[in-house]
Amino acid sequence: MKKQPKVAVFGGGSWATAIVKMLTENLNEVGWYMRNEQAIEYIKENGHNPKYISAAQFDPNKLKLSSDINELVAYADYLIFAIPSAFVKGELDKINQPLNKKIVFSAIKGIIPESGMLVGDHFYSKLNVPLEQIGVITGPCHAEEVAMERLSYLTVASKDKKIAKTMVKMLNSHFIKTKISDDLIGTEYAAMLKNIYAIAAGIAHGLGYGDNFQAVLMSNAIREMKRFVKKEHKMKRNINNSAYLGDLLVTGYSVFSRNRMFGNMIGKGYTVKSAMMEMSMVAEGYYATKSAHKINEENKAKTPILNAVYAILYKGKSAKKEFKKLTDLID
C-alpha cells in the first residue's frame, strides 16, 4: 500500500476547517495548526470547531492538532495555508525552518498587505520556496456547504501537474469534485478580486438595488476581472471557467458570503469599523480592495467597480453617490 503524504493545514477559521474536513475523508491523519489552545482542546473532546462551521464533524484520532506552527511545518510534506491574508505574515514570521523542501499550497484569498504580493509570490520571493513546489486551492466553494456535504467544486492550480494531481486525490470525495489548472497567478488574482466584487454586490443590495442591477453588476465584474488579470499575467485562459466566473458568482450571491454581508452593512449605512466589529469573521475583500487598487494604479486596467468600492471603504465616500456614478459607467 502506497504511503500517504503527510499534510498539515494552517488556520483556525471556516475555510481551514472545511479543508481539514475534505482531507480527513481520505487521509488517516491530518495536521492542523490553530493558535487557540482552547479551540484545540474543544475539538479533541467534542469533534468539531467551536467557533467555525460547527456542523463539520471530525474524528479527533485523525487529527494532529498543535498551536506550535513549527511542529507542524516539520511534520508535514504538504503545507496548506488558510490563514486570512491580513494575518498571514505574522504567522509566517514564526517559522524558523526552511520551506524549500516542502510542497506549499495557498488557500488564502487575498494579497499579503506587508509585501503587496500574492501568497504564492511571497512564498517564492521571501521564503525561497521553488515555484514548481507552490500551488493554489480555490473555489467556487463555500466552507459552510462543505460542512453539510453538499456537492462542491474546487480548482487546484500548480505549475507541476504531479503535485496538483496528488492534492486532487487528497481532496476529492463523494461531495467534492476537483479540477486542475496551470494558471497559478490568474486563479490567485481571481480569488482576491471576487471578494471585492462581492462587497460591491452587498453594497448594492444594502442600497436597495434589485436583482436586475445585480445581474448587470456581476456581468461587468467578470469583464473587469478579465482586464485586471490580463494586465498582471497574460496567458490563455477562459474567464468563464468555474475558478473565475463560478467563484465570483457564488461569492457575490450566496447567503454564506462574508464579503457580501460586509458590503450589505456598508450599503445600509454602517461605517467600516462598525461593520467589522459586528462581523465575527474576516471580510477578505476589505484588505484586498486596498491592495488591488494600488496594483491597478500602475497597470491602469479599466476598473470602475474596484474604484467605487475603494472610494467607499478607504476614502469615506458616500456609497449612495458612488453607486449612482457607477450606474453610468457599467452596461
Task: Name the residues annotated as catalytic.
Answer: 194
In the block, residue with C-alpha cell 492550480: 157
For 11, half-sphere exposure in the C-beta direction (CA atoms, 13 angstrom radius) is: 28
Give 66's strand partners. Answer: 33
Query: How does DSSP classify residue 68?
Result: -
CB 123 within 8 A of CB 89: no
| CB neighbourhood size of 234 (10 A) | 9
Rounded Cα distance, 141 and 61, in Å? 27
The grid coordinates listed for 19 are 479543508
Residue matched to cell numbers 516542502? 102
- Going from the C-alpha of 247 to that of each of 112, 119, 243, 319, the distances in angstroms are 20, 18, 6, 25
Residue among 18, 52, 288 at smallest CA distance from 176: 18
Return the closest-CA partner of residue 69 out of 22, 10, 140, 12: 10
